[in-house]
Chain A
Amino acid sequence: MIREQYLGQLWELLSPVPEHLRREWMYDYEEHFRMAAEHGRSEAEAAHELGDPRLIAKELLLNYRVGQAENKSGSITLVSRAVLAAVSLGFFNLVFVLGPYIALLGVLLALWATAVGVGLSSVMAIYEGLYGGGITMLQGAFLAMVLIALGMLIGAGAHWLTRAVAKMTLRYLKFNSRVMRVKKG
């Protein structure tokens, strides 16, 4: 009874993971109960030494998220998921890690918005050159080209910085999230 409950709960908690992986992981815990029984230990003892299934699920999910983020290195979405998994696991303090991380994301977003804004303002320059009185058409076209180039430059910078932030965050996460729970009692 304890065994079924334990394994059932773990299976439910691991639902974000693809099924083949979930099955592979579950095998370890099913086998643990089986082997413990062979060694004359009760289901309650086996469940106790494994520990809270919620903790196990979180550890597994964090590993999974970090692995995913690593496979597609530089993806800020996957890295953000891994950060959230780590915070939910209690590896990092919500205020001291998630706060600065979100601030950093804000800076990146502002940079991207600037790139797009500058690029789009070239349309204004062309409009002004065609219909406005301030500048000639040639000046307008030139200004538009400069603005587009500048927008692309800022965009490239933002892209590079985003990847750099993603990689550094991941490295920090990997380094800090390897905890082992200490044996109780």
Chain B
Amino acid sequence: MNVQFKKGVLDLCVLALTAWEDRYGYELAVTMSSKFEVAVGSVYPLLSRLTQEGYFSTYLKESSEGPPRKYYKLTPKGHTHLMELVREWRTFSVAVDELIKEGVER
């Protein structure tokens, strides 16, 4: 998929992954990287940016093995933003689907 196109959607996806449960960085990075063709190293700056913009808060939590892990938690502001992005995405994808049906699958 086109990189320019993808980058707008990645915010939405990474926020969506944390909608119901807090996740640690590695988990998010690996999931994002396996679903989309993005470098793992590129996901962490994305997480930092979303944190800086107030959509995520972070905290450390003890894990059974080794040092505590850094978890990303969706803030209320992040939740509002996510809902907005989801709405935008739905409108967009419905429109694209309609055009594909009209243009390609007739």
- Given A24-B58, A183-B38, A31 and B48 touching (CB < 8 A)? no
Q: How many angstroms from the CA of A31 to the CA of B68 in the assembled complex?
A: 9
Of all chain B residues, the one with the shortest Cβ separation from A62 is B45
- Contact among B24, B33, B38, B45 for A59, CB-based, below 8 A: B45
- Contact among A31, A60, A64, A183 for B33, CB-based, below 8 A: A183
Verify A31–B25 contact, CB threshold 8 A.
yes
Interface of B is mostly: helix
- Chain A residues whose CB sits within 8 angstroms of the CB of B8 once the complex forms: 178
Interface residues in B1-20 (C-beta closer than 8 Å to A): 3, 6-8, 10
Q: Check if A2 is an interface residue, CB within 8 A of chain B.
A: no
- Given A28-B70, A180-B38, A38 and B46 touching (CB < 8 A)? no
Instruction: Give 1 or 0 for each of A165-185: 1 = CB within 8 Å of chain B CB.
Output: 000000000000011111110
> Chain A: interface residue count, which band?
20 to 34
Q: Check if A25 is an interface residue, CB within 8 A of chain B.
A: yes
- Chain B residues whose CB sits within 8 angstroms of the CB of A28 once the complex forms: 25, 44, 47-48, 70
Residues of A within 8 A of B (CB): 24-25, 27-29, 31-32, 34-36, 38, 49-51, 55-56, 59-60, 63-64, 67, 178-184
Residues of B within 8 A of A (CB): 3, 6-8, 10, 24-26, 29, 33, 36-42, 44-49, 52-53, 58, 65-67, 69-70
What are 13 A-B contacts with C-beta separation under 8 Å?
A25-B44, A29-B44, A31-B25, A49-B41, A51-B41, A56-B45, A60-B45, A60-B48, A63-B45, A180-B10, A181-B39, A182-B3, A184-B39
